Amino acid sequence: MDYQQAVKDYINFKNLSPKDKMWTFFDEDMLLQSFVFTQQLDKKGVLELIRLAHTLQKHYDVREFRQNIKTILGGYSCVLYFTQPSSRTFLSFSLAAQALGMSVEEIRDPSTSSAVKGETEIDTLLTMAALTDLIVMRQNSKSLIEDVAFELKVRGLKTRLINGGSGTDQHPTQALLDVYTLGVDRNLNGTYKVAMMGDLKHSRTVRSLSYMLAMFNNVQQIFIAPDEYQIEKDITDHLTEHGVVFTLSNNKAEHIRELDGLYIIRLQDEYHELGVKEGTFDNFKLYAYDLSIMKEDAAIMHPLPRRDEIPVFVDFDSRAEYWEAVEKGKFIRMALILTMFGYDDEFWFRLNNGSLLKPALREK
């Protein structure tokens, strides 16, 4: 393709809705080349990833299994380009890639990259694409990742790309681990009421989770926030379009008794232009009284990091799921990487014929 055509294609691409853009992000075998938006998956795809993650997690204590899955992507490489702070997402991607045998490099501080020499971020990312098989990126910008996905496609590069958090827009792998944690896959005929509470306006994890839960028509969504921090209209439009039952509320007390899942987030003040009026979020935190009236089997969730919206004593309540969710995050990311490299069928085959659970055969 020549340059003029690439520029035209880019202009057309930027004018597409996320729904139409996402077809650019698959390769010729219809494998996900770039995972940018939650909406690129469908319910079946989400359930398959959860099943794969669950299987990986189930066998992970078997030493031979760990050793054998380390050969699956041995020789492949991954770079983590994280220019925003991260502990969990960064570490779990790094360990997930290494658990599958990939070598992992990182760039976290742009002052150590060629950005200081005036290189554009796209050129820095093209360098990573030239050298590695997988880029996972997290950054402040909402749109850089889709531009990178477009560049990979237009330049015919095979490098895979995963969104580890794109500004206030999306965090699709967090949504995967949240749905895995919530366990909606365990009872597809049951009805669930799931509330998201806090600074919903600026939360990429809530946006991605809402898109993903919208795939499950047995899940009702409740958004609990001060009015000026409510979820954005593009999400409620999407829910309406897909016939999802949802409620906007500023009153936790009205809903807390009936919830099957409560997903709480911290104040996302790195994205605020103005300060927050003191006390604004006091009624959007979890207190001992809330625990006393919540359902016995409700799931209390949080993407972490937390501040004071979930006090530490809640960690000891059997409904607290957020620490276990951290571990699940590694396995769902392993499942995603395997799937994006086309290894899910081979994985099942090798698991079913026992070779992944047996000691590896030594060469004579």
Spatial distance between the Cα atoms of 160 and 33, rounded to a whole number of angstroms: 5
Is 339 one of the annotated active-site residues of the chain? Answer: no
Does the footprint of ligand NCD cover residue 165 (CB under 6 A)?
yes
Please report how close the Cβ of residue 233 comes to ligand NCD at its closest, in angstroms.
Answer: 21
Among residues 79, 303, 314, 330, the one that binds ligand NCD under rule CB under 6 A = 303
Contacts with 227 (C-beta within 8 Å, 6 or more apart), sequence order: 250
Selecting among 171, 252, 266, 333, the annotated active-site residue is: 171
Please report how close the Cβ of residue 281 comes to ligand NCD at its closest, in angstroms.
Answer: 13
Contact 281, 198 (CB under 8 A): yes
- What are the E-state strand segments in 296-344? 299-301
Strand order through the sheet with 103-107: 34-35, 160-166, 134-139, 77-82, 103-107
Is 88 one of the annotated active-site residues of the chain? Answer: yes
Is 120 one of the annotated active-site residues of the chain? Answer: no
Among residues 132, 181, 205, 210, the one that binds ligand NCD under rule CB under 6 A = 205
For residue 153, give the nearest of 60, 308, 23, 347 by alpha carbon.
Answer: 23
What crossing angle do the helices spanning 344-352 and 322-340 adopt, rounded to 10°? Answer: 100
Please report how close the Cβ of residue 273 comes to ligand NCD at its closest, in angstroms.
Answer: 18
Choose one: 23-31, 39-47, 219-227, 300-308; the region binding ligand NCD (CB under 6 A): 300-308
Q: Which is nearer to ligand NCD, 89 or 221 (CB)?
A: 89
Is 328 one of the annotated active-site residues of the chain? Answer: no
Q: Which is nearer to ligand NCD, 72 or 304 (CB)?
A: 304
DSSP of 28-85, one letter per residue? TTS-BSEE--GGGS-HHHHHHHHHHHHHHHHHTT-HHHHHHHTTTTTT-EEEEEE-S-
Is 171 one of the annotated active-site residues of the chain? Answer: yes
Among residues 33, 68, 174, 339, the one that binds ligand NCD under rule CB under 6 A = 174
Among residues 265, 298, 320, 351, the one that binds ligand NCD under rule CB under 6 A = 265
Q: Give the bridge partners for 103, in sequence order.
A: 77
Please report how close the Cβ of residue 90 comes to ligand NCD at its closest, in angstroms.
Answer: 9
Q: Give the bridge partners for 195, in sequence order.
A: 222, 262
Residues in contact with ligand NCD by CB under 6 A are 88-89, 165, 171, 174, 204-205, 265-266, 303-305
* Catalytic (active-site) positions: 88-89, 117, 138, 171
